[in-house]
Amino acid sequence: MAPRKKSTLAAGIMACALGFGILQLAAAPSQAVSSPGAGPEYSQADEALGRHLGVSTARAHQIFDHERSLSATARELQKSLSPAQTAGAWIDGDALVVGVTSDAAAQRVRDAGARPRKVTRSQAALDSLKTKITGLSRTAPGFVSWGDDVKNNTVSVSVAAGSSDPGTRAAVAQARKLGAAVSETGGVPKATASMAGGEEYSFLENGEAYVCSVGFTARDGSGRNAMVSAGHCVVNNSDFTFKGSALGTVIGATFPGNDYSAFRLDSSVTPSASVSTWNGSTVAVSGSQESAVGAQVCKSGRTTGWTCGSISAKNQTVRYDDGSVINGLVQHSACVEGGDSGGSNVSGSQAQGVTSGASTYSNGSCGSKVGQPTVSWYQPVNPILSAYGLSLLTR
């Protein structure tokens, strides 16, 4: 039977786990574009972002470099400031903005070259508020997703439009009373199953064939080749294949709670430290430095190929349409659809995460295709590597 999407994903907004991966069986195409003489080399990521934003490749290269620098500053400030002193950071135009609760923290932010913004809630307060919202969600089936909204210094809650059950109505009222921002969404998040380094891999679920996408290649502590993808593509499934050959042995898989998995690759699979851009080229993976809210991110997956957007929120909790709740996701605006699950999300050459899901509509399309907001999520890659004792394959 030819691989197909799960029938349960046919309707509603789906939080899709879209595997795209960087597993490649053939030599990767050239990674950079350069012209004779002096000047920088531009990667396929630069070209793809340029097309997405409608700017030159050179300008896209500058954007990636600048956002990489701002994200590094954000990470350093996060380490030096306590959760009581700060409340997240985000990129606003050319500047890094950092929420702070004291004059001393504001001065430290200015000294680092960033712009402080005085806020009421610290990160510790946001974490406490999210914990309370999580408690409310247990009796509110209409809660779709909830998590930090650092730009507005609150926790945002997305509720399925038309939710009229008493539990959801009461939880919405209480969430607003606590200070959370509540909004309605016209779709329902779903986890999708549909595999490669952005390419597809196949598997059986209850005797039927499905596909997902490959995330990133890695190595275990003994130097053996490995790959990471989404957990919902692996839990309770079997007979994993890649391009007609055995994919490998499952190291571990988690879903729900988290949404990640890892394989030890079969000897017939040759890994590549790159991600497909679905135009005959690839983007090299050189590390896994986390990018800040507001940074550009592109995803690769077997259904929608190479799409780009920006990171809109972190530390998000999402309830998929089957009731599964996933924590710690990053929300972004790149198009994701069924079958992209497990796929690669990158910022420039830095691995960010594997696709977990997306909000899709009645025909399975992402929001941008039907005039709606595009909302997608990925599971950060560094916790996956740490969970299974893996190191990212880079070049």
148, 232, 312, 324: which one is catalytic? 232
> How many other C-beta atoms lie within 10 A of the C-beta of residue 1?
8
Active site residue 61: no
Three-state SS for 117-131 is EECCCCHHHHHHHHH
291, 341, 347, 359: which one is catalytic? 341
Handedness of CA 111, 121, 117, 152 (dihedral sign): positive
46, 148, 149, 259: which one is catalytic? 259
Report the DSSP pairing between strands 274-276 and 181-185.
unpaired
Alpha-carbon distance of 275 to 22, in angstroms, equals 4
User: Residues 6 or more apart from 234 whose CB is under 8 A from it?
Assistant: 203, 240, 250, 253, 255, 261
Active site residue 52: no
Active site residue 341: yes
Peptide bond into 256 cis (omega under 30): yes
CB 24 within 8 A of CB 282: yes
User: Residues 6 or more apart from 275 whose CB is under 8 A from it?
Assistant: 20, 21, 22, 197, 198, 216, 282, 283, 285, 300, 344, 346
| Closest C-alpha among 276, 310, 316 to residue 15 | 316
| Closest C-alpha among 153, 210, 142, 208 to residue 179 | 153
CB 248 within 8 A of CB 265: yes
Enumerate the active-site residues. Answer: 232, 259, 341
